[in-house]
Structure 1
Amino acid sequence: MHPLEGVSRWTNPDQPDAYIVIGTSAASKGRSSLQCRQCKETTALISNAAVVEERDRLLTWYRPTPMSACRTPGCENQGRDVVEAPEAYQRFGRTDTGSPRYRCRVCRRTFSSCRSVTHRLRQPEKTLEVYRYLINRVAMRRLCEIADIRPATLYQRIELIHERCRAFAAFHERPLLAGKLLGNVHIATDRQEHLLNWASAIDRRQSVLMATASAEGKSGYILAQHVNFDPDADPFACDLAAREAGDPDLHVGFRRFARLWLPHERLDASPSGDREAELTTHEDFRPASRGTPVHENIAMAAHFQVLRRLLAGADHIQFSLDREPGIERTCLLTFADRIRRGSLDAFLVRINKTLTVNAKRAALWEAEAALARERTNHPGRSDVEVLFAMLAARYRVAVQNIPRPRDRWIVHPYPAINEPERASVCLTDNGQRETGRLLQGYARASLRSIDRYFMQIRRKIHLLERPIHSSSADGRAFYGYSAYSALVVIRLLDIFRVTYNFHLTGKQKTTPAQRLGLTDRVWTLDEILAFEGG
């Protein structure tokens, strides 16, 4: 059965018996699945409540940061910003440092508004210096030596930079949530793995974080980036509450704490063939000491739910998806209504990442030779027209020889050197799509925009460079400059996403945010830090 057909039945209330639940026995260890009665294909059963809970947590990124608000517990004005609700407060002079003071009209308590987020720092100029070093491949210990600061000061400045970047990006990205018109967009989605070093010689198990990110193809703008980790959830308190709620005796999709990966799940887990089950049962996997991991399928589903909100103003969406487990099904289920209306197409992209540089160049030369022969056979046509004709010919052959649309992998006639042997298959080809539209989708299907961003992360953030696997460490990965804290990784990824979108320029001397229409200029690092509009 084609995935699109499964999406239609899943979301159709008129066919409630289209699926049956399997894996309800004790041997399944709580991992149930839905099986299609027609084709017998299965999909994992997850908690909708957990997805919504994680989506709402991720959407807090876009909330305004209350810079001046009543702090009295229980007051009805608590957390209401002066800018958003000026009628709730009255001016009440200034402090000795010149900051404006306000009085709450309900509880009559006073509070002050900071003139600057750095006005209490002894060396505010160090913040910009730390920011520059963080995004230019300087190791943490080396950064402390160059900037002449203590490690505690470094992490305090990272927290400050992260908060400023969050407020800056939230202010500029709120128009997307409000339905900003985007026209036709091409989104590339992939995941990147980050390993955390072991914290002590006693416990040498690793923590693995998965960062899911989506980039707009034409502009290169990173729309969203989410890590499967909740730094505010206490793993032991949540585990205790889950046991009291009876979660260990329930199937995963029906648990109260289905969103989080808790210690009792590792003890009860068994290999079931999926990536996360193998990860959670690996003896070298170490749960985080602060914060709690989020199940990968829940984190991925929440990521696409956030994208759904951000892309509400798009006329047509094309997804290019990497062949990561679960990405394609999650995307199809999230955007099922758009797929049925014909305003979204999804393509799975395959790239041969094992080729050497010489092999990539040889493949490119072969493609150029084939293009030259086609130019001779079609004089007067442009290169774009020739490539499109080659793609159309390959598609016709695939239609004739492969009856199932899901299996029609089309190799691009002219792949780039960074995407050797690129091939794609349309996941939304239900036989009713126009051939010209499908061919345009095959021509655009690419992961170049998101792969470039991931490459920049590895190259520019020293803390997130690929670790080294050594035989002396019994196969464990260790890198002396890698992070020990998941919270630091999350903050650095958020900082770099904002920097990449609004500060770093390409060959056209414009930023991704400019090309997407979210801003009209290049922002400097000190302007991002000093931004007060969030």
Structure 2
Amino acid sequence: MVGNSKRRLAQFAADHGVDEEAAELLSALEEVARMATIGKWGDRWFRHPISDMREPEKSVCWLTDIDPPESDPVKLKHQRDHHALLHLKATVTAVDRFFSFFMRVRRGLTLAEWGIVSASAERRLWFGKNAYHPAVLVKMLSIFRTYFNYCEVAQDGKTPAMRLGLTKGPIALEDIVYFSPEQPARRRARQAAPVVSDSGGSVRACTSNKSPSLPKQEGLESQQQSVSNSLRERLAPKDGLHASVRDFSSTAP
């Protein structure tokens, strides 16, 4: 059936002189024009022109077709092409994949297995393998989901995370179990600028990166002493001038 569908599509493309993708659209437009009304609700069913191994002889019913037809011929053609493409993309494969994953969870996790039917107690279900606390099952599902999305490789050599572009390759279990995020580089705290007082008693803050080199106490005292001695020598009066001043002051009335 699948082979006949492919050969029929190839012959259709050769007759119309188009490629396979355009042939699918043209065949879908023809099937849209031949849509039949089935059932008491008057639903219009679309017979899918392409058979698939998972969905052979598929028929589609668009229940939400509420858009009015366009009045412009160009817009009407685009609208019909869009409707035909929507019918071509209709599938329940994603639902089947979900149920496939659901069954794998049921069969892979002991805590998620179906209850066992008892033959001696009026066919009651026995849930002896289930978890006593639901939080335990939630943790097991998180572990299973992580392994399924990042570690398990399918037939195409990719994981679900690789198909979504989240990872570049399969992730090893050791990288997940022993994962530790990189610690950010530690930055040294900036030290407060030291306050330095000079010989005149004024206070200033040192803003350089390096600590200021303060002079030793002994060197500072010797420097101050030498400065004061030189000032005394320069300002000291002569002996004669000093004597005349004393004599003049003594004779004052």
Greater helix content: 2
Larger radius of gyration: 2
User: What TM-score comes out, normalization by structure 2 length?
Assistant: 0.50
More strand by share: 1
TM-score in terms of structure 1 length: 0.26
Q: Which has the higher contact order (CA 8 A, sep 6+)?
A: 1
